[in-house]
Structures are given as structure tokens and as C-alpha cells.
Amino acid sequence: MGGGFYGLNSRETCTVCSGIGAFQLDGEKSDYRSCGPCNGRGYYGLNSRETCKICKGHGLVRLHAEKIGIEEPPDFWNDLHPEIVKVAKSRFDSRHYADAIEAALKEVNDRVRALVKTQGGRELDGKDLMEYAFSVKNPVLALDDLTTVTGRNIQVGYMQIFSGSMTGIRNPKAHANITIDRLRAVHFLYLASLLMHKIDEASLVKPQGPESLPQPHLKPPK
């Protein structure tokens, strides 16, 4: 695991790396070695998933300044939509993972609401906003050619993803003290980033008239 010795309870020096915790790659010594404090796991302990503060979850640390052989572990922030990075990164770096996700999905919600408002649409929020904005019959944001079956399927699918993200991820965090780990937070940030990119790609459509939201089934009058 990069500790330079065998086993968890043994201090016998590793015969492969000679106790260094790094070894030769194609005849050259690696610029990286497995992180000692976490034994290359990226987290502390056998039963803990707490992210290692030294390697920040990568399991690797630099040996010296000059790069040889292995690339720097990728920074996932480069993959994300800039608006998501802006609202979530400082919270994430402070290890307030649930707050970072709540902020990211609130930004998605606010972006959709602002676009709906520019088109004279309804003042809604969360699930109702997403079902209204990405409606197949009378959309404000069209994600594909809605005259085709494929286009309508794409519209319905993303409407459900947007709506479900508000109901299943944003709302529980807003209404309860929920804790999530780093890896799950990264997954949710990629989701929020995808949603923001889909908003960027959408075509604005002027609503044709009031479209009723889903209503509970009422008993017919006697």
C-alpha cells in the first residue's frame, strides 16, 4: 500500500521498494509514492471513510518537484460548469459537502426560474418549476426537437432528472441535517454541472398559455 513495509502490524521492510514506498517505472523512479498516513487508500483507517488530509483522497503524494512518469491526479473542478464551481467549491474545500450540493442545486433552480421569468412564465420553485419549464406540451426550455419521438423522450427524461434532483437531493438537505461523504458529493456536483450545461443548450420558448400543474385526483360530485 505504499507504506514501505508488509502488513498492518508488521514493520518488515518491503523487498520491492526497499522501504521507500515507491518503485521504478520503465527504468525511471516515479515522481509519486503512495501516501504514508493513509497507506495509499485515500482515507483513514480500515472502517473509516474520512478523506486523508495529506493526499486529499488521491492516495498519492509528490516525492519532489520535477515530474517524472506519472501525471498529477486530475482536478475534477476543471470538468464542472463554472457557475457550479463558483457556488460550491469553497464549501466543498471546507468539507461542508452537503452545503456544497445544496448551493449547487439552488443555483440550477435559480437559473431555470430566471429564464422562465424572462419568458413571462409562472413564478414557481423546485419540482413544480422543473415540470413547468421542461414540459413537453408547452415548454419554456426545449432540449431537443419536440416534433419527433426521440426529442420528446429526451425532454421528458431530463424533466424527470431536473425534477428528481430537486425532490430527492436538494429538498432533503434543505429540510434536514443530512451528512454526505466526499465521493457522493463529487457525484452530485457532476450531476448539477450536467444540468447547468443542459440549461445552456436549451432553446427558450414563449409559453402559449397557462398549463395546469398536476392536481390530486378529486372525487366527482354526486
Closest CA to 133 of 154, 170, 158: 158
- How far apart CA 88 and CA 107 sit, in angstroms, is 10
The highest-confidence range among 5-9, 41-45, 58-62, 129-133, by mean pLDDT, is 129-133
Please tell me which residue, 7 or 54, carries the higher pLDDT value. 54
| Three cell numbers, residue 171 | 429538498
User: Which residues partner with 61 through β-bridges?
Assistant: 33
- How far apart CA 155 and CA 163 sit, in angstroms, is 12
Look up residue 44 and give its amino acid.
Y
Spatial contact of 127 and 172, defined as CB atoms under 8 Å apart: no
Question: pLDDT tens digits, residue range 60-103?
Answer: 666 543 343 434 456 899 999 999 999 999 999 999 999 999 99
